[in-house]
């Protein structure tokens, strides 16, 4: 009986660490980091039309619409300032993905596919 209680307590602690890792950006103040990917949606979460092949726009799950973020590629140091205009990626399905960038923003920081980035808020 005692060993079963110890086993359950050990499992719960392991889950807590995983949960903290998945939702670290809710607690941790910027600058923070994660994986950036490319997206080309034409309609934002608030219903506005996007021009993904023209504008420097990003999608972030936790930041407010209109917030400007400096996205820096950790590998080469290139950075771009883009505006949050959409929500995503969903951390439930893609736990490491932090931000989605439009193709011009993605090319500006020199990414190809997925890359590790650092994020920080920029004053409006």
Domain boundaries of the chain, sorted by first residue: 30-122
Q: For residue 88, what pLDDT band results from cuts at 50, 70 and 90?
A: confident
Q: Say which CATH superfamily domain 30-122 falls into.
A: RlpA-like domain (2.40.40.10)
Mean pLDDT for the stretch of residues 30-58: 88
pLDDT > 90? residue 99: yes
User: Which residues, other chains included, contact 89 with Cβ-Cβ below 8 Å and sequence gap of 6+?
Assistant: 37, 59, 61, 97, 98, 99, 100
DSSP strands (E only) in the chain = 32-38, 57-60, 68-73, 79-86, 97-101, 115-122
Query: pLDDT > 70: what percent of the chain?
Result: 76
Q: What is the pLDDT of residue 6?
A: 41
Give the global pTM: 0.73
């Amino acid at each position: 009986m005692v060993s079963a209680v110890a086993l359950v307590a050990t499992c719960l602690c392991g889950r807590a660490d995983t949960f903290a890792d998945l939702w670290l950006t809710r607690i941790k103040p910027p600058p923070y980091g994660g994986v950036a990917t490319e997206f080309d949606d034409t309609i934002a979460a608030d219903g506005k039309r996007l021009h993904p092949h023209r504008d420097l726009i990003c999608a972030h799950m936790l930041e407010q619409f209109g917030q400007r973020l400096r996205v820096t590629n950790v590998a080469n140091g290139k950075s771009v300032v883009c505006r949050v205009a959409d929500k995503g990626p969903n951390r439930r399905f893609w736990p490491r993905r932090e931000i989605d960038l439009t193709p011009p923003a993605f090319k500006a920081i020199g990414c190809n596919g997925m890359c590790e980035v650092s994020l920080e808020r920029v004053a409006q």
